[in-house]
């Protein structure tokens, strides 16, 4: 997209899937299943659906251990587990589209309407757009960014704070009608809630 409006065309996506899952008991959190698909598959499926009408389907870059599924380009941060800024450094060189989505791997409710809301939000010279939850807090791992702007910011960034990197870019805030889009699965209770909401009742 050129300066001056909403995001046009497909979105590449960087999906952060390299965390230790310590609050989930150390299990492979992105590989946990909800309604027949892993958490990671649910996120990558949403990106593919968002890009379905584009000539270029976009590229999905998963920063984390390689997996048989979903189909994606897998890269690792150096060293593994060193945080979201390091993960961005690993993933960003592989982005080819003018704008890209930055997403967590454990967002079971993310869908095309959420990605469309982020893509439609930037105006003028905005460098990005980020969901803001009901408490007014930016949810940095549900956001879209102008690729060149983030490359420049990352080149000058020496810290490990994602807020320290992204906050100064002044992204457009996108308030949520409800917080489901950003409801990640950090704990067993979070996972149980997602399954309760998304899986058909049994019996």
41-91 pLDDT, tens digit per residue, is: 999 999 999 999 888 889 999 999 999 999 999 999 988 888 999 999 999
Looking at the 3D structure of the chain, how many domains does it have? 1
For CA atoms 42, 85, 180, 131, the dihedral sign is negative
Residue 3 in domain: no
Q: How far apart are CA 101 and CA 191, in angstroms?
A: 23
Please give the Cα distance from 76 to 80 (Å, whole number).
6
> What is the distance between the terminal CA atoms of the chain, rounded to a whole angstrom?
50
Scanning the structure block, which residue is given the tokens 């993933």?
Answer: 91
CATH code (residue 118): 3.90.550.10
pLDDT of residue 4: 46
Q: Is residue 81 part of a domain?
A: yes
Q: What is the DSSP letter of 29?
A: G
When pLDDT is averaged across residues 104-122 and rounded to a whole number, the result is: 95
- Residue 3, pLDDT > 60, answer no
Both tokens of residue 28? Answer: 């492979």
- Please, what is the Cα angle at 9 between 8 and 13, to 5 degrees? 110
Residue 19 is predicted with a pLDDT of 61
In a domain, 61, yes or no: yes
pTM: 0.92
Residue 113: pLDDT over 50? yes
Dihedral sign for Cα atoms in the order 116, 118, 119, 124: positive
Q: What is the pLDDT of residue 178?
A: 86
Q: Which domain holds residue 100?
A: 12-196
The residues pairing with 174 across neighbouring beta strands, listed in sequence order, are: 131
Report, as an integer, the average pLDDT of 162-173: 96
8 A C-beta contact, residue 14 and residue 103: yes
Instruction: Report, as an integer, the average pLDDT of 176-188.
Output: 89
CB atoms within 10 A of CB 47: 26
Q: Is the pLDDT of residue 29 over 90?
A: no
Q: Could you tell me if residue 72 is inside a domain?
A: yes
Domain presence at residue 5: no
Contacts of 191 (CB under 8 A, 6+ apart): 24, 32, 34, 185
């Amino acid at each position: 997209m050129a300066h001056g409006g909403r995001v046009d065309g497909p979105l590449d996506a960087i999906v952060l899937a390299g965390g230790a899952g310590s609050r989930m008991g150390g299990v492979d959190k992105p590989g946990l299943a909800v309604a027949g698909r892993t958490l990671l598959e649910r996120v990558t499926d949403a990106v593919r659906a968002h890009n379905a009408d584009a000539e270029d389907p976009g590229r999905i870059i998963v920063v984390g251990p390689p997996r048989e599924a979903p189909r994606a380009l897998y890269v690792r941060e150096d060293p593994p587990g060193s945080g979201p800024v390091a993960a961005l450094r690993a993933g960003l060189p592989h982005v080819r589209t003018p704008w890209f989505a930055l997403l967590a791997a454990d967002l079971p409710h993310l869908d095309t309407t959420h990605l469309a809301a982020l893509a439609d939000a930037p105006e003028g010279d905005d460098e990005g757009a980020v969901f803001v939850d009901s408490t007014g807090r930016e949810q940095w791992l549900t956001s879209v960014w102008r690729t060149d702007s983030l490359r420049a910011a990352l080149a000058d960034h020496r810290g490990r704070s994602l807020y320290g990197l992204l906050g100064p870019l002044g992204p457009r805030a996108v308030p949520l009608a409800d917080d489901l889009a950003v409801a990640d699965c950090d704990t067993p209770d979070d996972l149980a809630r997602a399954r309760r909401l998304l899986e058909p009742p049994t019996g």
